[in-house]
Amino acid sequence: MDFIETLLWPLRWLVELVLWVWHWLFTSVGMDTDSGVTWVLAIIGLVVVVRSALIPVTVRQIKSQRRMMEIAPEMKKIQAKYKGKSDQFSREAMSRETMAMYKKHGTNPFASCLPILIQMPIFFSLFYVLRGASEGRAGIGFMDAMLTESFNNASIFGAPLALNFSGALEQGEWTVVILLGVIVVLMIASQFFTQLQIMSKNVSDETKNSPMYRQQKILLYIIPFAFLFSGYMFPLALNIYWFTSNLWTMAQQFIVIRNMPTPGSDAWRARQERLRAKGKLDEEQEAEMDRINGKKTAEGQRQQPVSAKRSKKKKK
């Protein structure tokens, strides 16, 4: 047992417990204990438990990402103020001003990474649990010899859940290769769409003109391809976990953006229009909407809409 495996012992025990509970639940209602469907549902159950526990942290992450983009213009001013100044006093002053700005807006660059950082130990704990099972080794808790054998016998669409891409190639298990290829493509697509939801719908017009937004846009096309590594290295069962987690993120983010959009973004305007149609927009909110929309019109050099009455007078 290596150092990391030992360090993750408590989490591995919890992962085995959750998998055992879900597997027992599905077999109790009559599902085959060795069926790949039973094990896939148990893995999806693990995703539900983990992601439900992380809902407060994930909402905080989405808000933090939004705030980081919103403060980009202020960050640019601070950087311009100390541009070309490399002395220690200037560096310290720039650092103080930056931290004060983060504190004022209630965010920091690391908050957006928190859910991923929390999930990674759970992900690797599941990796160690499934790797041990695929090697015929019983777990440290609830993953006993019987469950280990059950997992090794499990397959979905004829693809063994315990195999990874390289192992499937060696054994000529082309069903695993194809299924993993499909899952990796879907993971890349879901990750891309998840980031696109923020970039296209939940960013204010001012932020879209900032350098940080342009950098984020480049990363939008790069980050999803990290799943090529996981698709090759990790077993099919682990890729199913990661893909299901991606779908959860995509759905959760859609709900958050719809109900808590960034002021001045396309999602915010859509929400304000929905509230206006229902008669739930008060005078202050109406004024704020008109102010932001008016500013966008002025920046885009577009004319304000003219009513039919005013249009007739103009023609006369």
Q: Tens-of-pLDDT digits for all 316 residues of the chain?
A: 577 778 888 888 999 999 999 999 999 999 999 899 999 999 999 999 988 988 887 777 767 766 776 677 787 788 788 887 877 888 888 888 888 888 777 776 666 666 677 778 888 888 888 878 877 788 888 888 898 889 888 888 888 888 888 888 888 888 888 888 888 888 888 878 877 777 777 776 666 666 666 666 776 677 677 777 777 778 888 888 888 988 988 888 888 888 878 777 788 788 888 888 887 777 766 776 676 666 554 444 444 444 444 444 444 4
* pLDDT score recorded for residue 44: 93
Say how far apart CA 110 and CA 181 lie, in whole Å: 32
The pLDDT assigned to 49 comes to: 92
Q: What pLDDT does 66 receive?
A: 67
Residue among 304, 289, 293, 194 at smallest CA distance from 251: 194
Confirm whether pTM is higher than 0.85.
no
In angstroms, what CA-CA distances link 247 with 120, 187, 210, 290?
17, 9, 29, 36
CB atoms within 10 A of CB 270: 14
